[in-house]
A and B are shown apart, each in its own frame.
Chain A
Amino acid sequence: MTFPESNERRKKLGQAVMFGVSRVISYGIVALLFLILFFIVKQGIGVVNWEFLTAMPTDGMTKGGIYPAIMGTLYLVAGSMLFAFPVGVMAGIYVNEFAKAGPMKRFVKMMTNNLAGVPSIIFGLFGMALFVNQMGFGASILAGSLTLGLLALPIVIRTTEEALKSVDDTFRQASYALGGSKLYTIRKVVLPIALPNILTGLILAVGRVSGETAPILFTVAAYFLPKLPGSIMDQCMALPYHLYVISTSGTQIEASRPMAYGTAFVLVVIVLIVNLLATLLRNYFGNKVKMN
């Protein structure tokens, strides 16, 4: 049989166009990302020096540093993960390994997905109502961490669930076949295999939490507090909120512009470093349990 030459040409052309378009789009996205980074670096790097990183803000936040905001953000990220990671991983384990298939399980999964889509300001209000007022923590690192933790929870639950689901069932069966209990199997076989992917959830959650303003607005963030918190019951400053404050509601918005870019720069660098660390960690574990 002979096929028309023109058809071949048309196929080739169609492919070339499709590839071309998707390539341009993907390069465009990368370029945009670089543009944002470049903009922030260009505007911010001149401001950032040792003093900026280690000093308290002064002169109506137009001078000095952002040390308390950096530390505040680190505390809040650590605090929220301390809460969201164990709880989220355990919930993910329950949903994927223990919950019986049926309407209840579907309902739990649906609610987790919905929770992930709730606007963060709602979490802020909820955190204020529950942690700040109802439980009496006041505006504090504890209340802020718990609120941010709630926000991160669905991400951790979902990635844990997906990570566990991707572990081939024959691993479980092989362990049961040797007399292993369900719990032992999960601890010794399933979790180690799923760990690299679970850590991805942690990375995503950290990225999300470190940049959020709305949830900490009413629960922990201090407008201006030029000292480090003494305990988890204290308020603290935080980078995204600080950035928001000095760009919108300070007394001298123009004068504090450089401080704003410097803050943005530091925030981006912190998120990048955390991502990098988590990726290294993930690769490290990934190599140890590599599937073939």
Chain B
Amino acid sequence: MANKLETIDVHLHYGDFHALKGITMAIPENSVTALIGPSGCGKSTYLRLFNRMNDLIPFTRITGQVLLDGEDIYQIKSSKIDALRRNVGMVFQKPNPFPKSIFENVAYGLRVNGITDNSFIENQVEKTLHQAALWDEVKDKLKKSAFELSGGQQQRLCIARALAIEPSIILMDEPASALDPLSTGKIEDLIFELKSKYTIIIVTHNMQQAGRVSDHTGFFYLGELIEFDKTKKIFTNPAKQETENYITGRFG
């Protein structure tokens, strides 16, 4: 399998704070990679490297290489950043649909990027809602506000919103941690469905979840990547003592 994403010796500073300390990691295409580790170890920061969202945080310095399909995304022209972000969808911890209708939420990414053909937009919205396993639940209320949906439905809507512009990578930062077990199950099923077409990176605090959905797992600790390997290996026979302590709950 080809590597979709790769970071080479990436360091990130927030002001004086050294948040990522030389992360080298390769993320294979069309698979799910889980990032685990204790709170504050830099998982979200690492995730935000790939759509250059850290750029928006003042006093942030980044060194090293972040390669997408072999190209360093920190060397591209600033006019290409929007295109990069279109290629990298993002889903957040708390469902955050826009203050718009269900339909317009999914259509948002298309409209932002200048698509005006309404029949195309309609098709794309329907297709994406099917993909996000939400169509049957919302097909009769597309014009209703997205805030009327349940938390789990909102989160699947946010996934649909990300999928609508056909990215090749999806970043998920604890996408199910605010949801009940049933909704969590649906999100996990969805991730499983999506990985044939997308490269997915998911941050999670839930070890079972990492075990269930991911192919590879990276364990972060205090800004360092302690271990990265096949999920099976990490959970059955980790190479590092810290990893074992963390996943067995004997931590700190």
Interface, chain A (partner B; CB < 8 A): 100-101, 168, 170-171, 173-181, 184, 188-189, 192-193, 288-292
Given contacts A178-B86, A179-B113, contact A193 B92 (CB under 8 A): no
CA distance A177 to B86 in the complex (A): 7
Q: Is the CB of A170 within 8 A of B92?
A: yes
A289 contacts B147, CB within 8 Å?
yes
Give the chain B neighbours of A193 by CB distance below 8 A: 99
30 residue pairs bridging A and B, Cβ less than 8 Å apart: A100-B58, A168-B94, A170-B93, A170-B96, A173-B92, A174-B90, A175-B108, A176-B56, A177-B53, A177-B85, A178-B86, A178-B89, A178-B108, A178-B109, A179-B85, A179-B86, A181-B82, A181-B112, A184-B112, A188-B100, A189-B98, A189-B99, A192-B98, A192-B99, A192-B100, A193-B99, A289-B99, A289-B145, A291-B147, A292-B154
**B198-232 interface (Cβ within 8 A of A):** none
Do B147 and A290 have beta carbons less than 8 Å apart? yes
In the assembled complex, the Cα of A191 lies from the Cα of B248 at a distance in Å of 46
Are A292 and B58 in contact, CB atoms less than 8 angstroms apart? no
CB-based nearest A residue for B52: A176
Known: A101-B58, A168-B94, A174-B90. A179 touches B109 (CB 8 A): yes
Contact A174 B96 (CB under 8 A): yes
The listed residue (A101, A173, A178, A288) touching B112 by CB distance below 8 A is A178
Partner of B165, one of A101, A170, A179: A179
* A-B Cβ contacts below 8 A, count: 75
Contact with A along B13-31 (1 / 0, CB 8 A): 0000000000000000000
Pair A288/B99 contact, Cβ less than 8 Å: yes
Are the C-beta atoms of A178 and B147 separated by less than 8 Å? no
* Candidate in B99, B100, B109, B162 with the most chain A CB atoms within 10 angstroms: B99
When the two chains form the complex, which single residue of A179, A189, A288, A292 contacts B83, counting CB atoms closer than 8 Å?
Answer: A179
Contact A168 B96 (CB under 8 A): yes
B residues 128-183 with Cβ under 8 Å of A? 145, 147, 151, 154, 158, 161-162, 165
Minimum CB–CB distance from B10 to chain A (whole Å) comes to: 20
Closest 8 CB pairs of A and B: A178-B109, A289-B99, A177-B90, A170-B92, A179-B86, A192-B99, A180-B112, A179-B82
B85 cross-chain contacts in A, Cβ below 8 A: 176-179
Tally of chain B residues near chain A (CB < 8 A) = 30
Pair A175/B165 contact, Cβ less than 8 Å: no
Q: DSSP class of A's interface residues: helix, strand, loop or mixed?
A: helix
Q: Is B7 an interface residue (CB 8 A)?
A: no
Contacts known (A100-B58, A178-B165, A179-B83); A171 close to B112, Cβ less than 8 A: no
CA distance A289 to B99 in the complex (A): 5
How many angstroms from the CA of A101 to the CA of B56 in the assembled complex? 12
Chain B hits for A168, CB < 8 A: 94, 96
Measured in the bound complex, the distance between the Cα atoms of B108 and A177 in whole Å is 11
Complex CA–CA separation, A289 to B108 (angstroms): 16
Q: Which residue of A lies closest to B150 (CB)?
A: A292
For A188, the chain B residues whose CB sits under 8 A away are 98, 100, 108
CB proximity of A212 to chain B, nearest CB, Å: 34
Beta-carbon contact of B58 and A173 below 8 Å: no
Q: Which residues of B contact A180 (CB under 8 A)?
A: 108, 112
B51 at the interface (CB under 8 A from A): yes
Chain A residues whose CB sits within 8 angstroms of the CB of B98 once the complex forms = 171, 174-175, 188-189, 192
Contact of B82 with A171 in the complex, beta carbons under 8 Å: no
Q: Whose C-beta in chain A lies nearest to the C-beta of B112?
A: A180
Known: A289-B147, A290-B147, A291-B147. A174 touches B92 (CB 8 A): yes
Q: How far is the CB of A78 from chain B (nearest CB, A)?
A: 28
* Shortest beta-carbon distance from B102 to chain A in Å: 14
Question: Can you name the residue of chain A whose Cβ is closest to the Cβ of B109?
Answer: A178
Contacts of A292 in B (CB 8 A): 147, 151, 154
Contacts of A177 in B (CB 8 A): 51, 53, 85, 88-90, 162
Compute how far the CA of A176 lies from the CA of B90 in the bound complex, rounded to whole angstroms: 10
Contact between A175 and B92 (Cβ–Cβ < 8 Å)? no
